[in-house]
Structure 1
Amino acid sequence: MIDYSKFPNRSVACIDMMSFYASCMAALHNLDARTTPIAVVGNLKQRGSVVLAASPAMKKRFKIKTGNRLFEIPRHPKIRLFEPRMEYFLEMSMSITRILHKYVPAEAIHVYSVDESFIDLTGTEKLWGDPAQTVREIQKEIYETLSLPSTAGMGPNMLMAKLCLDISGKKTGFAKWNFEDIPEKLWPVSPLSEMWGIGRQTETSLNNMGIFSVGDLAHASLETLEKKFGIIGNQLYHHAWGIDLSKVDAPPVAGQVSYGKSQILMRDYNSIAEVRAVLLEMCEDVAKRARDAGKAGRTITLGISYSKNALGGGFQRSRTIKEATNETMAIYAVCKELLSENYDARPVRQISLSITKLEAEQSVQLSLFEKDNWKDRAIGSVMDNIRNKYGSTAILRAISLTDAGTAIKRSELVGGHKG
């Protein structure tokens, strides 16, 4: 058993906007997102465009949710369709944060995403009273001020607040968990991927060990978990007991562990040459972000998803190189190898790329056998400075001017969508 008296027991809440994009469009058009079937679609002119958000009424009545396609939405007079307005969504997100600042100081707020935030209400009792009631007042103010409905979960730490939100709060509007609730409310959770922080791959590994629920995980051998997963095994074990030492004024995971990009293509790309064109642009973007942060990576991962017209599927492959890099062409060279080895000539609709196993750029040694290495870094630095000062399209590779290039069109978007 865990002695919870040894761990922090705070008043942390996780507040999530209900179907945020759909609710924002509802507020803009004087609609009620809770009762009006609304879908926010990437591009209304493309029947294969993805649904980015759906209101509760759209999900319940028409079974349309995020990830569906435009052609799957039935023709019905009560359905309202909108394209995203990312600048407006970001403005609404900032307005939510300003409301939170009225109740707690900046260091007690962690904006987790555009529509979800953690707040620590510990010590605010003399100002606002019971923290649980304060959260309800915050939800009320957000709705009355911005017309955005929300759900919230509350717990003794960030992990518990998030789990409470996902498992209980989203069903009831507000819920609160204490450590005493863990056996009854957390341990029955299954499949394991329903728990925040456990992905499909980890779930499969745990299933192979005979662990299928959070309760199974809590009662597994800590030594065995650490042997299998390292420090992550220790974290998985303690999370199953509701233990989390993260602070609200810092991200739940300290430091960025990867740099990546995923892009759904506007059409099927039917040749390896076209795929390489987009891949080079993506390598440029990922490498620049790593350079801006002073990081370099040793493991490069390429993911390809084939078109549904070609029965879907795809592959994801990784390769670890001897020396960490943040050079565009070095990353691109590895991606070309992975593509050539695994691509089966079917039409491609999505490409993803990431670099991991990061280390400080200063720790990377220049090879004595590659005399132009320092020149490549200098050129990359100059290109980065130009783009930082004048915009992402101030200097482009020639490939971006071809029909396959997407960099120019995507530069006009905010968050991948129209502003």
Structure 2
Amino acid sequence: MDYSKMPNNKILCVDMKSFYASCSAVMMGLDPLTCYLAVVGDTERQGSVVLAASPQLKKEFGIRTGSRRFEIPNDPRIHVVNPQMQTYLRISTEITRLFNRYAPKNAIHTYSVDESFIQVDGVEGIWGGATIIAQKIREDMVREFQLPCAIGIGPNMLLSKLCLDLDAKKKGIAEWTYEDVKTKLWSVSPLREMWGIGSRVEKTLNRMGIFNVGQLAKYPLELLEKKFGVMGNQLYHHAWGIDLSELGAPIIQGQVSFGKSQILMRDYTDPKEVQHVLLEICEEVARRTRHHRKAGRTISLGIGYSRDELGGGFYRSRTMERPTNITMDLYHTCLELFAENYEKKTVRKIAVSLSNIVDDSEMQLSLFELERPKKRQLGYVMDRIRGKHGSNALLRAVSYTNAGTAKHRSRLVGGHKA
């Protein structure tokens, strides 16, 4: 691989350690690195999900994001608190302002509430090299916010992110170059530790005889493309540490999808109630898709069963004849998938995603669906009303049933208590 033709920037990937838990710890006068603290969706519900756990709680008690409230030991040292989303978002905004001291706004990309990319090419002459800038940011973070962070440095967004996840989170600050790919990236196994590879893709790669990143990099490109399409091309080049996307663009170009998953507030035993929530989720997925002026052809439905039924569930996809961003198109396809795969068990999690994305302008007209353009336009009108007057300004009737969750969630920030 000829790296001389590849982008060779200085990009920092900054991650706030256990951000929600660290913020709550500081507000309580505790040390984020030594205290035992969990932020849960609702402290009053034993089945509530842990949103963040302090490093010490993870290390000594094995409690981490996704654990349940009832799994937290009854130990007097452990603090269990509700989230304060508005405060977390305000702190995140202030941290972005801190980054702006060292780089212009167009060189800062907020990837999530607790993770950001900063391109420092051009400002190294002012502040020093990328490592020095990373040290200054960490020092400012501790001095002004009492919050810990880790920073990975790389020549592109992908390598800076991989450096963060695989190296910097242990050391505090680390830097990878293209020369480090073979010695530091290729040995990564299992494959799910590689950013961008999920459990399903990992299982498929394992069946192909690929168990570490080095084997992925040496696998014939044409065979990967034949198996995964454009994603196969991306998997191959990412295994070589190559990422051509610009700062702020999706790290995995062409893999764009729009989705929403929801852990239900209680067990749903009635499939009719599950369908009510499913409609609400399809509405949100369609809205997110329209917000980007996109449409999609492949709808995926994931159903997770309650732990009381030993867990399990299914994940199935179906490609529709025409791309769409109309809520009811998504919903009817999901209903088909649900009817075909539901095992009459108690449901606790629902996930819907729309992929195979195209521009909205590619939505096709049909002689048999003359109302289709009106349905498409109606979606945009509803989005504008909600944008102006709030997400609960227009709700479907199912949201007012006992099964509906949209009415309750409209009062939340980031899906959790403000």
Confirm or deny a common fold (TM above 0.5). yes
CA distance in 2, matches of 1:37, 1:228: 45
Aligned to 1:35: 34
| TM-aligned CA deviation for residue 14 of structure 1 | 0.9
**Residue 78 of structure 2 is aligned to residue 79 of structure 1:** yes
Q: How does 1:123-272 map to 2 (within 5 A)?
A: 123-254=122-253, 257-272=256-271
CA distance in 1, matches of 2:311, 2:274: 16
CA distance in 1, matches of 2:360, 2:65: 38
Residues 303 and 347 in structure 2, CA contact (< 8 A), matched pair in contact too: yes
Bigger Cα displacement from structure 2, 263-272 vs 244-253:
244-253
Q: Which amino acid aligns with 1:12?
A: I
SS of match in other structure, 1:188: coil
CA distance in 1, matches of 2:232, 2:374: 43
Over 3 Å counting, the alpha-carbon distance change for 1:86 and 1:256 in structure 2 is farther
Structure 2: stretches of 5+ with no match in the other structure: none
Residues 107 and 249 in structure 1, CA contact (< 8 A), matched pair in contact too: no
Residues 278 and 406 in structure 1, CA contact (< 8 A), matched pair in contact too: yes
Aligned to 2:325: 326
Residues 124 and 131 in structure 1, CA contact (< 8 A), matched pair in contact too: no
CA distance in 1, matches of 2:291, 2:168: 39
| TM-aligned CA deviation for residue 249 of structure 1 | 4.4
Aligned to 2:282: 283
Aligned to 1:397: 396
CA distance in 2, matches of 1:379, 1:244: 38
SS of match in other structure, 2:65: coil
| TM-aligned CA deviation for residue 361 of structure 1 | 2.5
CA distance in 1, matches of 2:55, 2:106: 33
Over 3 Å counting, the alpha-carbon distance change for 1:381 and 1:228 in structure 2 is closer
CA distance in 1, matches of 2:243, 2:262: 33
SS of match in other structure, 2:285: helix
Q: Which amino acid aligns with 2:5?
A: K
Residues 13 and 116 in structure 2, CA contact (< 8 A), matched pair in contact too: yes
**Residue 311 of structure 2 is aligned to residue 309 of structure 1:** no
Residues 141 and 148 in structure 2, CA contact (< 8 A), matched pair in contact too: yes
| TM-aligned CA deviation for residue 413 of structure 1 | 0.5
| TM-aligned CA deviation for residue 148 of structure 1 | 0.8
Structure 1 segments of 4+ aligned residues over 4 angstroms from their partners: none
| TM-aligned CA deviation for residue 378 of structure 1 | 4.4
CA distance in 1, matches of 2:277, 2:304: 14
User: Deviation per CA, 1:75-110, whole angstroms, max 9, x where unpaired?
Assistant: 111111111111111111111111111001112212
Aligned to 1:68: 67
Over aligned residues, Cα RMSD in angstroms? 1.7
| TM-aligned CA deviation for residue 377 of structure 1 | 3.5
Residues 158 and 241 in structure 2, CA contact (< 8 A), matched pair in contact too: yes
Q: Which amino acid aligns with 1:169?
A: A
| TM-aligned CA deviation for residue 229 of structure 1 | 2.7
Q: Percent identity?
A: 56
User: Deviation per CA, 1:339-363, whole angstroms, max 9, x where unpaired?
Assistant: 1111122111111111222222222
SS of match in other structure, 2:241: coil
| TM-aligned CA deviation for residue 115 of structure 1 | 0.6
The alignment of Structure 1 onto Structure 2 pairs a total of residues equal to: 418
| TM-aligned CA deviation for residue 116 of structure 1 | 0.9
Over 3 Å counting, the alpha-carbon distance change for 1:192 and 1:53 in structure 2 is same
| TM-aligned CA deviation for residue 26 of structure 1 | 1.1
| TM-aligned CA deviation for residue 191 of structure 1 | 0.8
SS of match in other structure, 1:104: coil
CA distance in 2, matches of 1:358, 1:413: 29
Over 3 Å counting, the alpha-carbon distance change for 1:255 and 1:84 in structure 2 is farther
CA distance in 2, matches of 1:185, 1:246: 22
CA distance in 2, matches of 1:241, 1:254: 16
Structure 1: stretches of 5+ with no match in the other structure: none
SS of match in other structure, 2:95: helix
